[in-house]
Structure 1
Amino acid sequence: MSEVTETSTAASIPATIATLPGPFQQRELARVNESVVRVAMIEGEFPWHHHDEDELFLCWSGTFRIELEDRPAVVLAPGELFTVPRGVRHRPVAPAPAHVVLIEHPDTKQYGN
């Protein structure tokens, strides 16, 4: 049996959220396999966009909705998650500050493709 070598450090979601400079600014927390974990604050309306890959939204605090083109919006509360399928135009919208954990491909562009 081989030994496991610890090469990473723990990341604090609340501490990282506290460093966010404003709405829609992201901070990377970790990389795992082919994905990156990021946090961001949502407040107001983000522009409509799409990605060539899936994007997972996990609501950490507050509430927000993800508006989807030609589909009903999805409202997320703390602890709830939703995956926007690749190619679907969407935008997160929050009337008051909310925080989100994003799991996506490292090359995912924030404003879409």
Structure 2
Amino acid sequence: MFLIVKSLMLVLMILMVLILVLNLCSMKTFYDKEKNSPFECGFDPKSNSRTPFSLQFFLIAIIFLIFDVEIALLLPIIKTYNMDNITLIITSNFFIIILLLGLIHEWNQGALNWLK
């Protein structure tokens, strides 16, 4: 029991010395105004919180997330399916066709046009 307490104290002392040395050697400064101010997605945090947000930017971000998740689901299809090649090809092509139809729909709706 005494050996466990002794080794625990040794570990704690080593950790305290490491923390002290790292804090003294770090290049971090607490006096930098920009590093100490909160960053709110490019908005000034001290201004009016009801500043209009670009709806076009929001739509592009949502579309990116949707297609990103679909691609992430498409990549492991090869590993997860233990089927013959024709079933894998049909399933993958069906998934890609749905993805392309969604992209074409968004394009026709004008959601991908940044300037209107």
Query: Bigger relative contact order, structure 1 or 2, given CA contacts below 8 A and separation 6+?
Result: 1
| Structure with the greater alpha carbon radius of gyration | 2
TM over 0.5: no
Q: What range is the shorter-chain TM-score in?
A: under 0.3
Between Structure 1 and Structure 2, the one with more helix by share is: 2
Between Structure 1 and Structure 2, the one with more strand by share is: 1
**TM-score (normalised: structure 1):** 0.19
